[in-house]
Amino acid sequence: MFVLLLILIAVLFGFGFLHPIWWVAAAVLAYGATRHGRERGGGRSRGGGSDLGDYRNPRDYRDYRERRDRQDRWDRRYTRQNWARRRREDRRDHEHHG
């Protein structure tokens, strides 16, 4: 399938010498193929998309649960370390504006 797509892009590029609109068609087709390939190919992206994964696969659920637990620990640690500073800033803002 990918080979046929490359051949089609090459043919459209060749027709571009006859009429430049074919270059636009080849560019649009190449752009669409690369966007579609990034969204579908190469497996699931770790950085983007849904964190839910496929719960039918126990490993995906375990990965999701570990990421969620790490994020919860980070959030708790951050809020514990900074709650006093935020309260001081809130009090200062309330006294300044109130």
The model's pTM is 0.36
Residue 14 lies in a domain: no
Does residue 92 form part of some domain?
no
What is residue 3's predicted lDDT score, i.e. its pLDDT? 83
- The domain in which residue 71 lies consists of 57-83
User: Sign of torsion, CA 42 48 54 59?
Assistant: positive
Question: Looking at the domain assignment, is residue 34 inside a domain?
Answer: no
Q: What is the pLDDT of residues 49-65, one digit of tens each?
A: 454 555 567 788 888 88
Domain assignment present for 49: no
State how many domains the chain has.
1
37 within domain boundaries: no
Residue 72 falls within a domain, yes or no?
yes
| % of the chain beyond a pLDDT of 90 | 2
Q: How far is CA 11 from CA 14, 26, 29, 36, 89, in A?
A: 5, 8, 12, 20, 65
The mean pLDDT value of the chain amounts to 76
